[in-house]
Amino acid sequence: MNQFISSRGHQQPVSGAEAILHGLAPDGGLYCPTVWPTLSPDSIGKLLPMSYAERSAYLISLFLSDVSYEELLSYTREAYATFDNANPAPLRKLSDSITLLDLWHGPTAAFKDVALQLLPFLLTASVKTLGEQRNVCILAATSGDTGKAALEGFKNRDGCAVFVFYPQGGVSQVQQLQMTTQEGRNVGVCAIEGNFDNAQTGVKDIFADAMVAKKLDDAGWMLSSANSINLGRLLPQIAYYVSAYCDLITEGTITYGQPLDVTVPTGNFGNILAAYYAKQMGLPLGRLVCASNRNDVLTRFLQTGVYDIRRELHLTSSPSMDILVSSNFERALFHLSGGDAALVATLMTSLSKDGYYSASQSLKATFDEAFIGDSCDDATVSKTISDIWSATKTLIDPHTAVAVHVAQKHLTKSPMLVVSTASPFKFVESVSDSLGVTAPTLTALEEFTELRAPACLQALETREVRFQDCISIPSMPQKVLQFLNLT
């Protein structure tokens, strides 16, 4: 039976249900699997003829012993029926060596839907398994895409509410409108005066606030997280790497056992961590390339062994990657240090106290084997979008462009999979600017490219704005209590 252990301490391992319901371990650590389920050549053979929903249910069932494959399959079928494509994770050839993995066919047009359409099912199943009686309030801080995806995933679900904080001015116009016009009876959205790291810290502080916890508990509520540190976000993401590998076999691009390199546009390190998990399970992945924008803390760590956040956070054209503290990186530290929780706890304390930590030479060497890091600035992103468009008539968003540029620099003889994380129509201003389209509107971009934007992004400006508040960081706990009518 698989169990999960905190990346920071030696407490008792917990079940998957507990890890999913609580999000964070009591010592502030992240729940990590204690064993890797194995993906043998036989299991890949079994997965080849399956649908995406079946592959996903199979892979998640290897980690979660509380839920059966059949039950998971009913969840994955329902979750991925909300996508506008029969395969929620289709491949698209970009060049002889590069294939895109398009993960933005869900209801919010970004890859976070793959996990966040499924998370409500996993969470509800966990509540049932554990006999939890309270209602669950999901709190999320968002740099743009998580918030909307969480709202869509949890809207109108019984026993759940969802509240999202986003940094004022730190998300694209489309992203902001997507959130402020959100429908549903159990949802709330609010801007904060600060950047994404402030929002994320503010949410963490609410989780640690005893007064808030008591008020909620008295009223029959508990808090849970939909941020990418939740195990229930990570597991669904493993499936698309395995599924892509299967599809590449089926289409004849690779044969089983051939290494597949992967480049991932990275923010909180959740997406690329899922690739690492798939590789640990035995999926024949080659190099894992971590692509960052100008906020290149991860690139510098992978080059120097020093994780240093004593610097400014820059707002870039790829806002979902504007992050200094990549929360899921803690899991990588745990696994690559051979499960040295005491070391991880020390490094995390240094990070919050001193703003940096240094890896030992041996830990750095393990990272060198596991990951490659590189980054690019906004001008390069813009040029990449325009070059790719001219050469192939493929339109990519700024996040994907970061990854495509970095992937092109790190090609080997192996085929390269580049994870495409958002629809370009989600970032109309910067994509239009890159292509020289003077009026940055969705319609103008559609006309120029002769492509159709996803239906979920059409006519956003005409929808009713329901959430307009912008508050200071210290007011965040009060805002949540108000939302739940507990003041």
Ligand X SMILES: *Cc1c(COP(=O)(O)O)cnc(C)c1O
CB of 110: closest distance to ligand X in angstroms?
4
Q: Minimum distance from CB of 318 to ligand X (Å)?
A: 7
Tokens of 211: 């007064």
Closest CB to ligand X among residues 111, 166: 111
Cβ-based nearer residue to ligand X, 271 or 394: 271
Interface with ligand X (CB under 6 A): 110-112, 145, 228, 265-271, 320-321, 399, 421-422
Which is nearer to ligand X, 137 or 321 (by Cβ)? 321
At closest approach, how far in Å is the CB of 453 from ligand X?
15
Nearer residue to ligand X within complex by CB, 204 or 399: 399
Tokens representing residue 331 in the block: 């899991």
- Burial degree of 215 (CB within 10 A; 0-12, 13-18, 19+): middle
Instruction: Tell me how far apart the alpha carbons of residues 147 and 142 are, in angstroms, rounded to a whole number.
Output: 5
DSSP string, 177-193: HHHHT---SSEEEEEES
Tell me whether residue 230 or residue 320 sits nearer to ligand X (CB atom). 320
Residues near 280 by beta carbon (within 8 Å), at least 6 away in sequence? 36, 335
Cβ neighbours of residue 28 closer than 8 Å, sequence gap 6 or more? 8, 348
**Helix H segments across 338-377?**
341-354, 361-370
- Cβ proximity to ligand X, 174 vs 216, nearer residue: 174
Give the nearer residue to ligand X in terms of CB position, either 29 or 265: 265
- In angstroms, give the least distance from the CB of 314 to ligand X: 16
Q: Supply the minimum distance, in Å, between the C-beta of residue 150 and ligand X.
A: 12
* Backbone phi, psi, residue 303, to 5°: -90, -35
The structure tokens listed for 152 are 């869509």
| Neighbour-count burial for 72-82, b at 16+ CB within 10 Å, e otherwise | bbebbeebbeb
Residue count of the chain, please give it: 487
Separation of alpha carbons 451 and 248, rounded Å: 26
In whole angstroms, the minimum distance from the beta carbon of 485 to ligand X comes to: 31
CB of 108 to ligand X, least distance (A): 9
